[in-house]
Amino acid sequence: MLGNLHPLPKLALCLIWIGASVLVFDLRFQLVTLTLAFGLLWGLQRVALWKLLALMVPFALFGFGFLTTSVLFNAESGFALQMANEQALAAPDISPGLVLFTRALACGMVSALFALTTDPGGLVRALMVHLRLPAPVGFALMQAMHLVPDLAREMQVLRMARAMRLGRPMRRLPGPGEVMALTIPLLAFAIRRATRAALAMEARGLRPNAPRTQREILPFQTRDGLAFGMGVGVLAAVLWLV
Amino acid sequence: MSDVLACDGVAVRYPFAAADAVGPLTLRLARGDRVLLLGPSGCGKSTLLQALTGLIPAALPGARRGQLHLFGQPVESRSPADWAAQVAFLFQDADQTLAGFTLADELAFALENRALPPDDIAARVAQAMAQAGLHPDWMGRRIATLSGGQKQMVALTAVLAQGADLVVADEPTASLAPGAAKMMADLLLAPGKTVLIVDHRLGPVLDRIDRVVVLGRDGQTLAEGPPDKVFASHGADLAAQGIWTPLATRLRLALAAQGVSVPAVVQVADLVAHLPPHADLAPLLLPAACQSGTETLRLNRVDCAPPFGPVVLRNISLGLRAGEVLGILGPNGAGKSTLAACLAGLIPPRAGQRTGPPGAMAFQNADSHFAAETTRAECLAMGVPAADCAALLAGWGLDHVATQHPFSLSAGQKRRLALALLTATDRWPVLVLDEPTAGLDHAGTTRIAGHIRRLAGMGKTLAVITHDADFALSVCDRVIVLAEGRVQADGPARTVLRDTALLQRCGLAPPEAAPLLHWMDRTPC
C-alpha cells in the first residue's frame, strides 16, 4: 500500500518526521515515532520482523554509544548530551542518553519505512522529472545502485579465488585481513565498471543539458495528498499530546 | 545514395603504442548490408567499432587516422552521443553497460535521450519486448536480478527498441544459450537491417549475413566478400591465423590433410553429401578416448545456492571419475556456475552431501585469479619453484609474457594463465572451468581444448561449463543438461547432444556436427 504512493511526498513526509524527531527531545515522542513507523512496516507492509531488527542494528549501535555514555559516565557525558538536554522541547526528567538512543532508532525506523516502501528507480526518475535532477546524475545514481549487487558478486568470486590460493575453505563472512586484501581489487573493479557504463551511456545518447523525455511520469494523485496530509496531521497531534 | 558507413584508410593507435591497434583499412556499408567482421583475438575489431561513432578519440584515449563518414557526414562532425539517433551500439560486455534500473528503463533509455514522445517510447518498448519474446511482466524487473545471459538479451532488445539505421554489435551472442542466440541473431540480422557485427560464434549468424570482412593479426583486411566465397578461397589462410571458420570449412581442410578431397562448402549438410565412406571424422569431432579411473567426487542429493541467495538447483546427484571430462550445459540462468562452485567445493551445499577432495575453479572472468604484478610472480605465489616457472609458462604458451602484468594479457592468455596456475601443483585433482572459451578465437579455443584433454589424460577430473555444443562434443566424455532447477539429462556427450527434443526444450541446440555424427553411425568403419 505504501509502495503505491508517489515517492516525493513520501520523502517529504519522512524528512519532516525525522526533522521533528531531531528537534523534539522527548522520550514519548521518540517512542511514538518508532512505534508508528514499526507498526506501518510490520503490520501494514508485512515486512519480516527479523529484517526490521537487522536493519535497526547499526542505528542501535549508534544510539547505544549515547546510552552507555549517559548511564556509565554521567559526569563526563559529552557536549552532545549537554546540548541535547538544553533543547527547547526537552523533557529533562528523562535520561538524555535514553532519549538519544530512542531518537537514533526512531530516525532509523522512519528511514527504513521510506527505503522499504519506495522503488529506488522510481525515486530517481521522480527527482529527474519534478526536481530537475540532471539526467547524468540520475543515471549515475542508478549505476551506483547496480554496482552494489555487482560488487557483492565480484567479492564472492574474489573470495573463492583467494580461498583456492590459500588452500582453505571460504569462511561465511570475511575477516578483517580478507577485507583489506579485497579492497583494492574491488575498487579497481568498481572503477572499470563505472568507466564502461559511462562510455555506454554516452554511446546511447545521454548528454548533459540536452532535452530528454520520460517513458512514464508517475503523476501525483489524490491519495498522495491525503497520505501526506494524514502524516502531517498525526505528527501535529502527537506533538500536541506530548 | 551515399554509404551508411565509409572508412577510407582508417587506423587507430593507442597512446604510447608503437603500432596501430587496427588498420589502415577501407570498409563500406550500404543501406541493408549485414556485415560480419572476423579476426583473431587482439586484431583490433572492438577498437575499430569504438572508433566508428567517434568514441575513440572523443571518450577513449587514442588517435585515429584516415577518413571516416557516417551517413555521408564526417564522424567527427558530431559527438558520439549525437550519433546515437542513427547508430545503435551494443558493447561486448553488455552486462556491465546497462543504464536503467528496471528492464523498462533500460529499453527506453536511448529513446528518452532522443526526446521521443512518451507514447512512442512505450509502443517501441512493448514491440521490442514482444519481438524478443520477453514477457510483459518482466517490464518492471530489476536489472540486478538478471543473469549475465539475460542481461545480454536485454541489451540486445534495447538495441532493437532503439530502431537506429545502423547497428554496431560487438559479440552480441557470446553469453547466450544457443536457443536465445539464434533468436537474437534472427532479430538483429533480419533482412533490410544495416548491421556491422563482430562475433566469434559463426553458427547463429553465418546464414544471415551478406558479407564477411576478415582482419588479419596485423589489423588489416585479409579478405572480404560473400561468406561462401571467402571461406572457400581463404579458409586455409583464416585457419592459419587462428580465425573461426565454419565447421564445414575446418573439416574440409582437415580431411584434405588425410588425403580426402571434398568440395568447398560452408554448410555441414552440404559436406555430408560429399563425404567418401573412408573419411575418418572421429578424431576431428570427438575426444580421444581416455581411460577413466575411480570415482573421485560425488554430489549426493545436493541443493545448490549462491552465497546468501536462494536455492537454484535441487536434489542433484552425480559422480565424477578421474580422467573424465564432464560438460555442463543449460540455458541462461540455469544455475551452471552455482553447480560449478559446489562441485569445486567452494560453496557448501545447502542440503545433501559433497564427498571428494577440494577442487579448483577457473572463473569466467579470469582476472579474479590474479593478485601478483607479473605472470611469473603469479606462478611463484602459487608455490611453483622459481626454476620451474619458465618451463610451466612455456608449456602453456605464455613464456613471452612472463614479465607482463596479468591484467595486460589477452582474454585467451588470461584463461591459459589461470589454468596453468590451477594445474601447476597437485593441490587440486578436480578442476571446474566456467565457460573457458567464451570470446576466444579458434586458435585460443583449440589450445584450451588440447589442454583439457591433456589434463584428463593425466588423471584430473574436469567439469566444463559451455554454451558451445560443438566444443562440448569435442572435449567432453559425458554431458549433463541443467534446466528448471534440476538435471534434465546425464549421459555420454555423443548421445545427449543428439537429443534434439531435449535440447530444444531446454533452450539449447544440437551441435553443428550432429549430421556428421549421424553420418558416422550410418557409415560402416
- For chain A, which residues make up each domain, given as ranges? 6-121+219-237, 135-203
Does residue B434 belong to any structural domain of this protein? yes
Q: By mean pLDDT, which of B244-248, B287-291, B471-475 is the weakest?
A: B287-291
Burial class (CB in 10 A: 0-12, 13-18, 19+), B238: buried
Chain A residues whose CB is inside 8 A of the B53 CB are 203
Q: How many whole angstroms separate alpha carbon B415 and alpha carbon B437? A: 8
Residue B420 has pLDDT above 70, yes or no: yes
In this structure, are residues B329 and B469 in contact, taking their beta carbons and an 8 Å threshold? yes
Q: DSSP code of B142?
A: B
Q: How many whole angstroms separate alpha carbon B513 and alpha carbon B468? A: 11
Q: Which residue has the cell 559526569?
A: A75
Give the chain A residue nearest B123 (alpha carbons).
A215
Work out how many CB contacts closer than 8 A connect A with B: 150
The verdict on A212 touching B (C-beta cutoff 8 Å) is yes
Does residue B348 belong to any structural domain of this protein? yes
The CATH number covering residue B56 comes to 3.40.50.300
Q: Which residue has the cell 575418418?
A: B280
Cβ <8 Å between A161 and B144: no
Q: How many whole angstroms separate alpha carbon B333 and alpha carbon B299? A: 21
DSSP B55-72: HHHHTSS-EEEEEEEETT
Does residue B286 belong to any structural domain of this protein? no
Task: Identify the helix (H) or strand (E) that includes residue B248.
Answer: helix B247-257
Cβ <8 Å between B368 and A201: no
Write out the three cell numbers for B489: 539429462
Q: Tell me how many degrees the CA angle B161-B162-B168 measures, rounded to the nearest 5.
A: 115
Which residues have CB under 8 Å from B465's CB, separation 6+?
B328, B329, B336, B337, B340, B432, B433, B434, B435
Partners of B465 in beta bridges: B328, B434
The verdict on A208 touching B (C-beta cutoff 8 Å) is no
Partners of B168 in beta bridges: B89, B196
Looking at the fold, whether B506 and B358 belong to one and the same domain comes out as yes
In this structure, are residues A33 and A110 in contact, taking their beta carbons and an 8 Å threshold? yes
Residue B412 has pLDDT above 80, yes or no: no
Cβ <8 Å between B96 and A197: yes
Does ipTM surpass 0.95 in this model?
A: no
Q: Which of B99, B346, B427 sits opposite A204 (nearest CB)?
A: B99
Looking at the fold, whether B426 and B299 belong to one and the same domain comes out as yes
Chain B residues whose CB is inside 8 A of the A125 CB are 105
The SS3 of residue B502 is helix
Looking at the fold, whether B102 and B53 belong to one and the same domain comes out as no
Give the chain B residue nearest A206 (alpha carbons).
B113
Range of the structural domain that residue B439 is part of: 295-522
Write out the three cell numbers for A75: 559526569
Q: Which of A197, A199, A214 sits opposite B112 (nearest CB)?
A: A214
Q: How many other β-carbons are positioned within 10 Å of the β-carbon of residue B118?
A: 15
Higher-pLDDT residue of B226, B257: B226
Given pLDDT bands bounded at 50, 70 and 90, which one contains residue B352? Answer: very high
The alpha helices in B346-487, defined as continuous H runs, are: 375-381, 386-395, 411-423, 442-457, 469-475
Chain A residues whose CB is inside 8 A of the B434 CB are none
pLDDT the model gives residue B330? 92
Given pLDDT bands bounded at 50, 70 and 90, which one contains residue B181? Answer: confident
Nearest to A152 by CA among A176, A121, A174: A174
Looking at the fold, whether B207 and B255 belong to one and the same domain comes out as no
Chain A residues whose CB is inside 8 A of the B365 CB are 157
Q: How many whole angstroms separate alpha carbon B60 and alpha carbon B55? A: 6
The verdict on A68 touching B (C-beta cutoff 8 Å) is no
Looking at the fold, whether B307 and B253 belong to one and the same domain comes out as no
Looking at the fold, whether B212 and B321 belong to one and the same domain comes out as no
Q: How many whole angstroms separate alpha carbon A83 and alpha carbon A81? A: 5
The SS3 of residue B135 is coil
- Secondary structure, 3-state, chain A: CHHHCCHHHHHHHHHHHHHHHHHCCCHHHHHHHHHHHHHHHHHHCCCCHHHHHHHHHHHHHHHHHHHHHHHHCCCCCCHHHHHHHCCCCCCCCCCHHHHHHHHHHHHHHHHHHHHHCCCHHHHHHHHHHHCCCCHHHHHHHHHHHHHHHHHHHHHHHHHHHHHHHHCCCCCCCCCHHHHHHHHHHHHHHHHHHHHHHHHHHHHCCCCCCCCCCCCCCCCCCHHHHHHHHHHHHHHHHHHHHC
Strands (DSSP E) along B216-294, which ranges? 221-225
Window 141-170 of A: residues touching B by CB (8 A cutoff) are 142-143, 145-146, 148-150, 152, 154, 156-158, 160-165, 167, 169-170
Chain B residues whose CB is inside 8 A of the A4 CB are none
**How far from the centroid of its chain's Cα atoms is residue B144's Cα?**
22
Given pLDDT bands bounded at 50, 70 and 90, which one contains residue B525? Answer: low
The verdict on A176 touching B (C-beta cutoff 8 Å) is no
Looking at the fold, whether B133 and B264 belong to one and the same domain comes out as no
pLDDT the model gives residue B369? 87
Residue B479 has pLDDT above 80, yes or no: yes
Residue B503 has pLDDT above 90, yes or no: yes
pLDDT digits (tens, 9 = 90+) for B43-85: 889 899 999 989 999 999 999 999 999 999 999 999 999 999 9
Q: By mean pLDDT, which of A197-206, B93-102, B233-242 is the weakest?
A: B93-102
Looking at the fold, whether B42 and B185 belong to one and the same domain comes out as yes
Looking at the fold, whether B451 and B307 belong to one and the same domain comes out as yes
pLDDT digits (tens, 9 = 90+) for B110-138: 999 999 999 999 999 999 999 888 888 88
pLDDT the model gives residue A97? 80
pLDDT digits (tens, 9 = 90+) for B252-305: 999 988 888 888 888 888 888 888 888 888 888 999 877 778 999 999 999 999
The fraction of chain B above a pLDDT of 70, given in percent, is: 99
Q: How many whole angstroms separate alpha carbon B510 and alpha carbon B269? A: 14
Beta strands B87-90; B166-170: pairing state: parallel
Nearest to B330 by CA among B146, B491, B138, B488: B488
Cβ <8 Å between B144 and A149: yes
Cβ <8 Å between A206 and B53: no
Chain A residues whose CB is inside 8 A of the B117 CB are 213
Window 69-88 of A: residues touching B by CB (8 A cutoff) are none
Cβ <8 Å between A165 and B82: no
pLDDT digits (tens, 9 = 90+) for B375-405: 999 999 888 888 889 998 988 888 888 998 8
In this structure, are residues B374 and B429 in contact, taking their beta carbons and an 8 Å threshold? no
Give the chain A residue nearest B88 (alpha carbons).
A204
Q: Give the mean pLDDT of chain B.
A: 90
The SS3 of residue B40 is coil
* Amino acid identity at B361: M
Nearest to B524 by CA among B311, B241, B278, B333: B278
pLDDT the model gives residue B164? 93
Q: How many whole angstroms separate alpha carbon B507 and alpha carbon B331? A: 6
* Amino acid identity at A26: D
Sign of CA dihedral B486, B489, B490, B493: negative
Q: How many whole angstroms separate alpha carbon B374 and alpha carbon B395? A: 17
In this structure, are residues A121 and A138 in contact, taking their beta carbons and an 8 Å threshold? no
| Radius of gyration of chain A measured on its C-alpha atoms | 22
Domain total in chain B: 4
Looking at the fold, whether B106 and B56 belong to one and the same domain comes out as no
Spans in chain A with pLDDT lower than 70: 71-94
Q: How many whole angstroms separate alpha carbon B432 and alpha carbon B441? A: 21
**How far from the centroid of its chain's Cα atoms is residue B338's Cα?**
19
Does residue B288 belong to any structural domain of this protein? no
Given pLDDT bands bounded at 50, 70 and 90, which one contains residue B423? Answer: confident
In this structure, are residues B122 and A216 in contact, taking their beta carbons and an 8 Å threshold? yes
Q: Which of A170, A197, A214 sits opposite B97 (nearest CB)?
A: A197
Q: How many whole angstroms separate alpha carbon B364 and alpha carbon B234? A: 32
Chain B residues whose CB is inside 8 A of the A135 CB are 113
Chain A residues whose CB is inside 8 A of the B97 CB are 196-197, 199-200
Nearest to B412 by CA among B399, B398, B400, B423: B398
Write out the three cell numbers for A53: 531488527
Cβ <8 Å between A161 and B121: no
Write out the three cell numbers for B111: 529513446
Given pLDDT bands bounded at 50, 70 and 90, which one contains residue B521? Answer: confident
pLDDT the model gives residue A15? 97
Backbone angles phi, psi at B9, to 5 degrees: 60, 35
Chain B residues whose CB is inside 8 A of the A120 CB are 101
Looking at the fold, whether B112 and B22 belong to one and the same domain comes out as no
Does residue B202 belong to any structural domain of this protein? yes
Q: Which of B113, B365, B368 sits opposite A205 (nearest CB)?
A: B113
Residue B182 has pLDDT above 90, yes or no: no
Beta strands B22-29; B5-13: pairing state: antiparallel
B225: left (phi over 0), alpha (psi -120 to 50) or beta: left
Cβ <8 Å between B102 and A121: yes
Chain B residues whose CB is inside 8 A of the A121 CB are 100-102, 105, 142
Looking at the fold, whether B156 and B240 belong to one and the same domain comes out as no
Residue B439 has pLDDT above 90, yes or no: no
Give the chain A residue nearest B383 (alpha carbons).
A165
Q: By mean pLDDT, which of A65-79, A113-127, B24-38, B427-441 is the weakest?
A: A65-79
pLDDT the model gives residue A92? 53
Q: How many whole angstroms separate alpha carbon B339 and alpha carbon B347? A: 9
Q: Which of B114, B307, B358 sits opposite A205 (nearest CB)?
A: B114
